[in-house]
A and B are shown apart, each in its own frame.
Chain A
Amino acid sequence: MRKYLLKRIFYLFLTLFIVATVTFFLMKLMPGTPLQNEAKLTASEKASILAQYGLDKPVWLQYFIYIGGIFKGSLGLSFQFSDQAVSYLIGSRMGPSMQLGGQALLVGVVLGIILGAIGAIRKDTWADRVATILSILGIAVPSFVLAILLQYYLGLKLGLFPVAGWSGFSYTILPTLALAASPLAETARFIRTDMVDVLSSDYIELAKAKGLSKFGIVYHHALRNSLIPMVTLIGPLAAALMTGSMVVENIFSVPGIGEQFVKSILVNDYPTIMGVTIFYSALLCLLLLLTDIIYGIIDPRIRLSGNGD
């Protein structure tokens, strides 16, 4: 176990190092500087601005400074907001993103489990069909379309929730719903497939033979065993939420990381793009590692071993 963990942590750092390196050199290939109104500036002004960002040094030195900075928690200065450190920018925008992501995950997973369980218990009935259609729609309707529709119909037309902004819980409802669709669909499909399998296994037959109530069977025996493999969904769901947050935060003007990322892409704010990329990768890597550890703990059949599979 310990050997395995050490190995995984080593790969985590290797991955992040590669991501940082590739991102750095990709961004160096791109045109664009932090200089605004380049034509109006004198040569010495240009030089001082470039020096502020460390762009006056040779590329290889910039690279070592950047990588060294990451270990100290520094991700450079933003081009767009001069003088603001990227790490500060990310930190100040992390709250809304995390709250939205957490709420969406909670709503999506809970509803998804219910939908999936209904589908599996009432297999091949109208209830199953409705649950299946809902979960397929959750995959087929892109989050940005859903977000716009929710904003217009629930927000503007019916006036149930605030249309955009970020000042209070009611502002989080629509973005949460828009974000929750994809985890809901994934969970429902996953749980249904898994529970259909579990429900036909011998120990369920035994539970039935013992005369347990239907609810007792589903709750105590089927659902618990179906939930274990759900741990493996954490990674893909987190990735889907990151994707979704970029557009959903934009549409609802939520001051989160996703919104900042899209803005930075559109204005060529390379240090911020790099910073957010590394941040997202680190988050996903950590979650994947956590997934494996949790899985090893709750399912004793899985052995975490030091040698590759």
Chain B
Amino acid sequence: MADNPENIEIKPGDFAPLDKQAGPDKEKIAAPSLTFGQDVWRRLKSNKTAFTSFIVLVLLFLMAFGGQALYHHDPNAQSPKYANLPPKIPGVNIHGLNGHINQSGKDVDAYAQAGASSKVHYVLGTDYLGRDLFARIMYGTRISLEIALIATLIDLTIGVGFGILSGWKGGRVDLFMQRIIEILSSVPSLVVMVLMATAFQKTGMASIIAALALINWTTMARLTRAQTLQLKNQDFILAARTLGESAPKIAWKHLLPNLSSVIIIQTMFTIPNAIFFEAFLSYIGIGISSPQASLGTLISDGQKNFQFLPYQMWYPAIVLIILMLAFNLLGDGMRDAFDPKSKR
């Protein structure tokens, strides 16, 4: 029988040496080699949640920074005649989007009541001063993002600089710098922000940015210091030192690229934090003041009418929640993408 192993007959001609040249080269790398960035990008793309968040963020940024070019409504133009109108999208007949509201149990066309012509329509309605809510949300999102991004950039610069210096110098300098961080981080960050916002005359973007920047950098500094401590004892740093490279150059050319993943991941969590605190400060009334608007002030304005015109708070709140969600989920994804070994 053929499948009985004992009956197999092997003839001398059955085996022949392979031609060395013709066979596939086992040492050849078939796939193109990926840089670190490409590798991260590939891992990020395969993470559906993170990638969706990325797309959502791109869309929100486009809306916030480019939306005004397409939607020509002044976010600050008041028309008291059309105050508190509900959302109306022409051609859509869903309650909540058709310009009707419930008034003491009856369905009323608020636009007809305000004497608006049939051409007048506000996609997300108007606020108590008759300002276009959609335009205001776009504007508010832009202000919120601007504050968060600038504050994060400052955080990043201070935090990374402080961390590298502290880790690199070591010894007494390090000890002293660590004490500063310790003291700063044992003060509730909110209290510091409130103090700064109050001290800088309460209003305006600059004061909030300063307040956010002053407190949020400590985590970044701590992380970069820990990494720097690890890196500085490695051979490539030793090689650079032996070759006579100056310290700033080593920091810039050798430390920073190796710190980049830590920095990027931490940044992804600093931004939503900044967005939250800005909204918080604006909500309690010591942040952005009118006519400027941010998501926090829009929510706080909308809250006053929430019982009767819930859309005035819901829409800015939804934008804020989506923004926070997307940044947090993207941050999680980035952490996995940059460091696949990290536990999760």
Which of B7-15, B88-96, B135-143, B319-327 lies at the interface with chain A? B319-327
Within 8 A of B (CB), among A1-55: 11-12, 14-15, 18-19, 22-23, 26-27, 29-30
A136 vs B317: C-alpha distance when bound (angstroms): 16
The answer to whether A30 touches B198 (Cβ under 8 A) is yes
Question: Does B221 lie at the interface of the complex (its beta carbon under 8 Å from any beta carbon of A)?
Answer: no
Question: Does A212 lie at the interface of the complex (its beta carbon under 8 Å from any beta carbon of B)?
Answer: no
Within 8 A of A (CB), among B130-170: none
The answer to whether A144 touches B198 (Cβ under 8 A) is no
Q: How far is the CB of A283 from chain B (nearest CB, A)?
A: 8
Chain B residues within an 8 Å CB radius of A156: 307
The answer to whether A23 touches B195 (Cβ under 8 A) is yes
Q: How far is the CB of B226 from chain A (nearest CB, A)?
A: 10
Chain B residues within an 8 Å CB radius of A277: 191, 194-195
* Other-chain residue from B189, B279, B306 in contact with A152 (beta carbon distance below 8 A): B306
Give 6 closest A-B pairs by Cβ, nearest first. Answer: A140-B324, A140-B325, A243-B190, A26-B199, A15-B183, A145-B317
Chain A residues within an 8 Å CB radius of B321: 137, 140-142, 145
A197 vs B191: C-alpha distance when bound (angstroms): 35
Within 8 A of A (CB), among B310-338: 310, 313, 317, 320-321, 324-325, 328-329
Chain A residues within an 8 Å CB radius of B325: 136-137, 140
A110 vs B155: C-alpha distance when bound (angstroms): 34
Q: Mark B170-187, 1 if CB is under 8 A from A, else 0.
A: 000001001100110011
A140 vs B344: C-alpha distance when bound (angstroms): 19
The answer to whether B188 touches A281 (Cβ under 8 A) is yes
Question: Does A191 lie at the interface of the complex (its beta carbon under 8 Å from any beta carbon of B)?
Answer: no
Chain A residues within an 8 Å CB radius of B255: none
A14 vs B187: C-alpha distance when bound (angstroms): 12
Interface residue total, chain A, C-beta cutoff 8 A: 46
A142 vs B280: C-alpha distance when bound (angstroms): 8
Interface SS, A side: helix
Within 8 A of B (CB), among A89-145: 136-137, 139-142, 144-145
Interface residue total, chain B, C-beta cutoff 8 A: 38
Question: Does A180 lie at the interface of the complex (its beta carbon under 8 Å from any beta carbon of B)?
Answer: no
Give me the interface of A with B, judged by CB distance under 8 Å.
11-12, 14-15, 18-19, 22-23, 26-27, 29-30, 136-137, 139-142, 144-145, 148, 152, 156, 193, 196-197, 239, 242-243, 246-247, 250, 261-262, 265-266, 273, 276-277, 280-281, 284-285, 288, 308-309
Q: How far is the CB of B320 from chain A (nearest CB, A)?
A: 7
Q: A152-B306, A246-B284, A280-B188 are in contact. List 10 more A-B contacts (CB 8 A).
A: A11-B182, A18-B183, A26-B195, A27-B199, A136-B329, A144-B299, A145-B321, A196-B343, A239-B190, A243-B280
Given contacts A14-B183, A308-B175, contact A273 B195 (CB under 8 A): yes
The answer to whether B284 touches A273 (Cβ under 8 A) is no
A148 vs B280: C-alpha distance when bound (angstroms): 14
The answer to whether A15 touches B187 (Cβ under 8 A) is yes
The answer to whether A281 touches B191 (Cβ under 8 A) is yes
A23 vs B192: C-alpha distance when bound (angstroms): 9
A selection of 17 A-B contacts at a CB cut-off of 8 Å is A14-B183, A26-B198, A29-B199, A136-B325, A137-B321, A139-B324, A148-B303, A196-B344, A239-B188, A242-B188, A246-B190, A265-B198, A266-B285, A273-B198, A280-B188, A281-B186, A309-B178
Number of A-B contacts (CB under 8 A): 107
A153 vs B325: C-alpha distance when bound (angstroms): 23
Question: Does B44 lie at the interface of the complex (its beta carbon under 8 Å from any beta carbon of A)?
Answer: no
Chain B residues within an 8 Å CB radius of A247: 280, 283-284
Chain B residues within an 8 Å CB radius of A309: 178
Within 8 A of A (CB), among B262-306: 272, 276, 279-280, 283-286, 299, 303, 306
Closest to A22 in B: B195
The answer to whether A144 touches B280 (Cβ under 8 A) is yes
Q: How far is the CB of B51 from chain A (nearest CB, A)?
A: 16
* Other-chain residue from B178, B186, B198 in contact with A288 (beta carbon distance below 8 A): B186
The answer to whether B344 touches A11 (Cβ under 8 A) is no
A29 vs B200: C-alpha distance when bound (angstroms): 10
The answer to whether B189 touches A136 (Cβ under 8 A) is no
Chain B residues within an 8 Å CB radius of A284: 186-188
A76 vs B136: C-alpha distance when bound (angstroms): 43
Q: How far is the CB of A147 from chain B (nearest CB, A)?
A: 10
Chain A residues within an 8 Å CB radius of B329: 136
Closest to B279 in A: A142
Within 8 A of A (CB), among B177-234: 178-179, 182-183, 186-191, 194-195, 198-199
Q: How far is the CB of A272 from chain B (nearest CB, A)?
A: 12
Most-contacted residue by chain A among B186, B279, B324 (CB, 10 A): B186
Chain A residues within an 8 Å CB radius of B310: 152
Chain B residues within an 8 Å CB radius of A12: 186
Chain A residues within an 8 Å CB radius of B313: 145, 148
The answer to whether B344 touches A243 (Cβ under 8 A) is no
A29 vs B195: C-alpha distance when bound (angstroms): 12
A153 vs B283: C-alpha distance when bound (angstroms): 20
Chain A residues within an 8 Å CB radius of B178: 308-309
A262 vs B343: C-alpha distance when bound (angstroms): 40
